[in-house]
Structure 1
Amino acid sequence: MSALEQELRETHAMSLAEYDVLHHQAQARGRRLRMRALSQAVLYTTSGMTRLLDRMVEAGLVDREPSPSDRRGMYAVLTRWGLSLLRKASATHLAGVQRYFARYSCPGTARALQLKQEWRLRVLRASTKSLVTWKPGTADVRWLRSCPGSVRRIT
């Protein structure tokens, strides 16, 4: 994991945690997530997420907005700069995942992961407005089933 993080830092001046936050926000409706949901998604404590988002807000990657329905709630909202950086970093992330982790899985799982990552990269490059989730095709399912004991659902 440290090699992938180092590549992201050297190439895009971002940590793996920042990439993870941007990735989750890009997939969310309206490119916004409640702070609590975001911290649960990236497995951070509330205080850890607050510190991380403080740095990301300062860098212009995300904004904070109050919840219109709950005065105590806050949303983290992906900015255009954050989305742009995520698009650029996705290629580095994909290459790193393939380079460092594919050898630890069976060929079917590795191929399905590669297809999913490539698809996400195409979606990020193609549209800033669409909300799309990956659905495995027949070929993807066949590859997954070819690996006894492999993960049946990659999300």
Structure 2
Amino acid sequence: MADATEALLTPTPDDDGAPFWDYAARGELRIQACADPGCGELRFPPRPCCPHCQSFDSEWKRMSGHGRIWSYVVPHPPLLPAYAAQAPYNAIIVELAEAPRIRLVGNLVTSADARLDSVDPDRIRIGAKVQAVFTEIDGVTLPRWVLERP
């Protein structure tokens, strides 16, 4: 039987988003920001032009990796075979601590390399504080999330 992670969905980086994935491979959570001195707005998903000032200058700012669960879902039933093998799993939306308008999608797990079903769905709460961790799947390093310890 093949490893269940073989058929998990992974991103296909484009030119605008490639730096996000390059930084993730280094264990860094970075978000694209406008490099215009009068703007500096963060933006996600990455794109060539700032939606606030229309500047084409950008940079990648390092985030703390701290956030809170803004929303979540536990799919019933799982739609793909590789995910069915790890049910019940979750998909969460995380609001970044230093950039509340920036929200990232991922999974809540007990550790970076844990299975997607490692967190009991009954433990997931809107507003729970989380921290980014990183794991490699099929050559792409993905951010995942763990609950912060009180």
Q: TM-score by structure 2 length?
A: 0.26
> Could you say which structure has the higher strand fraction?
2
> Could you say which structure has the higher helix fraction?
1
Q: TM-score by structure 1 length?
A: 0.25
